[in-house]
Amino acid sequence: MLGYTITQWIFGILSFMAIMFALMVVFSRNPVNSVLYLVLTFFCIAGHYLLMNAQFLAVVHIAVYAGAIMVLFLFVIMLMNLNEDAEPQKTMVSKIIAGVIGGMLLLVLVGALKGTSQLGLSQYGHSEIGLVKKLGHVLFHEFLFPFEIVSVLLLSALVGAIMIGKKEIK
């Protein structure tokens, strides 16, 4: 208990919160609340990325998953107008089978992780590998030509999409 660092405490708190929010996603009866709990789970996972010194991955995770995909999920859920009357009810047998299969999966995961030692992520690779400065240096020095080719391809796709979507003037 005395040998824990602040990083280990933050990891434990983030892990607990991520698991609790993930369980709330599963057990919430309102689909909109489930999506919001999933966004909170994504924020906790982004916190784990920050602990592993992967700032760029954390920002991209928030922007892509919590920002874009979850907004689409919310729009779809709200457009579908889900009611309890329209939702098919699950039988008790299917709930028991789902519980047994989930328990077996948990048993397999615990058995697989039982023999592993503590994960020492800091001992692998360079300590600054996830920094944006390092990524930018590699991107603009070693991969400058492919980066420029991708930018030209994206620009041509943008122009093509505008030309296809433009109304014809008669």
**Tens of pLDDT, residues 137-165:** 888 888 888 888 988 998 898 888 888 87
Per-residue pLDDT tens digits for 13-50: 999 999 999 999 999 888 888 888 988 999 999 999 98
The CATH number of domain 6-130 is 3.40.50.1170: no
Position 122 scores a pLDDT of 46
Structure tokens at 76: 């779809």
Position 88 scores a pLDDT of 66
Structure tokens at 9: 């405490």
Give the residue among 53, 59, 47 at the shortest CA–CA distance from 16: 47
- Decide which of 50 and 71 is more confident: 50
On average, the pLDDT of the chain sits at: 80
Q: How far is CA 25 from CA 14, 78, 101, in A?
A: 16, 17, 19
- Decide which of 73 and 159 is more confident: 159
Of all residues in the chain, the percent with pLDDT exceeding 90 is: 17
Dihedrals phi, psi of 168, to nearest 5 degrees = -80, 135
pTM of the predicted model as reported, rounded to 2 decimal places = 0.56
- Decide which of 132 and 117 is more confident: 132
C-alpha–C-alpha distance, residues 106 and 87, integer Å: 28
Position 100 scores a pLDDT of 92
Of all residues in the chain, the percent with pLDDT exceeding 70 is: 84
- Decide which of 21 and 94 is more confident: 21
